[in-house]
Amino acid sequence: AQKVTQAQTEISVVEKEDVTLDCVYETRDTTYYLFWYKQPPSGELVFLIRRNSFDEQNEISGRYSWNFQKSTSSFNFTITASQVVDSAVYFCALSEEQGAQKLVFGQGTRLTINP
């Protein structure tokens, strides 16, 4: 069965600090997909990134970077030089290749960036 764990319920940092959000997953499928979504205070879910299980290259997009490690079943998300606008709840999610490819979400990490 699929499972996603985000052990950090809340993180609070001061602006310009770097922050890493942890995500650990479980799956029996050999092919799967990992996602990060951002939920700002307005409530919508904004897609940030998708990673395929067969592609372990890390990715950087501006201040955002993602570290995918199959050996530890982790897909961590780092924000460099955080800004107040980064304040949101961040969800890690997993879908398996088989079936309807539903998303299984972690509990989310509430990130607060203080000025």
Partner 1 sequence: EPEVTQTPSHQVTQMGQEVILRCVPISNHLYFYWYRQILGQKVEFLVSFYNNEISEKSEIFDDQFSVERPDGSNFTLKIRSTKLEDSAMYFCASRLGTSGARTQYFGPGTRLLVL
In one-letter notation, the amino acid at residue 85 is: V
Least Cβ distance, residue 67 to partner 1 (angstroms): 20
C-alpha–C-alpha distance, residues 101 and 13, integer Å = 35
DSSP string, 64-93: EEEEEEGGGTEEEEEESS--GGG-EEEEEE
Using CB under 8 A, which of 43, 61, 62, 115 touches partner 1? 43
> Is position 112 an interface residue for partner 1 (rule: CB under 8 A)?
no
> Is position 85 an interface residue for partner 1 (rule: CB under 8 A)?
no
> Is position 11 an interface residue for partner 1 (rule: CB under 8 A)?
no
Closest CA to 109 of 12, 25, 27, 3: 12
Using CB under 8 A, which of 23, 106, 111, 113 touches partner 1? 106
Specify the stretch interacting with partner 1 by CB under 8 A; choose among 19-27, 30-38, 62-70, 79-87: 30-38
